[in-house]
Structures are given as C-alpha cells and as structure tokens.
Amino acid sequence: MTPAARSRLVAVLRTLVVLVVGAIVGAEYLGSVWLGLLLGLLVSLGLFLAFESRRGRNQGVNDDDHGVEL
C-alpha cells in the first residue's frame, strides 16, 4: 500500500469514527441522531482541514506582514 493510499484510508476511517461517535452522542445526549450527525460532520470537516494544513506545512499565517497590510 502506498503512503498516499494509506493516508487517505486513515482520513476516511477517522471521518467515519467521528460521524459514528456524533450519532451516538446525538442519540444519547441531544435526543436527535440528525443533530449528532451534523455535529460530527462539522467536527470531521474541521479535523480534515487541520490535518491537511499540517500535512501541507501551511499552518498559521504564511505572509510576512501577518495580514496587517491594507
């Protein structure tokens, strides 16, 4: 298995785990599986963006002036 394929598989599994945990939390504590799935989807999207940013070495602000230029 190539490193790219393994990385993609790990990302898919991480997303599925977050969605399942979101559904369980939604059903048990929030009273709505759909609300749990929505929260799980938002969390998994945030995790995806964070991990992709880290992998692409684009964390933080990349410009020299830190966005203060008008």
pLDDT digits (tens, 9 = 90+) for 2-24: 887 887 788 788 888 888 888 88
Question: Is 51 contained in some domain?
Answer: yes
| Residue 2 covered by a domain | no
Domain-embedded: residue 4: no
59: left (phi over 0), alpha (psi -120 to 50) or beta: beta
Decide which of 50 and 58 is more confident: 50
Indicate whether 26 belongs to any domain. Answer: yes
Q: Work out the average pLDDT over 30-36.
A: 84
* Residue 8, domain member (yes or no): no
Answer yes or no: is pLDDT of 69 > 60: no
In whole angstroms, what is the distance from residue 25 CA to residue 10 CA? 22
Task: Judge whether 23 lies within some domain.
Answer: yes
Task: Return the half-sphere exposure (C-beta side, CA atoms, 13 A cut-off) of residue 26.
Answer: 16
Confidence class of residue 54 from pLDDT cuts 50, 70 and 90?
low
By residue range, what is the domain housing residue 43? 15-55
pTM equals 0.61
- Does 25 fall in a domain? yes
Q: How far apart are CA 57 and CA 51, in angstroms?
A: 10
Domain count, the chain: 1
Q: Is residue 44 part of a domain?
A: yes
Phi, psi torsion values for 5, nearest 5 degrees: -65, -40
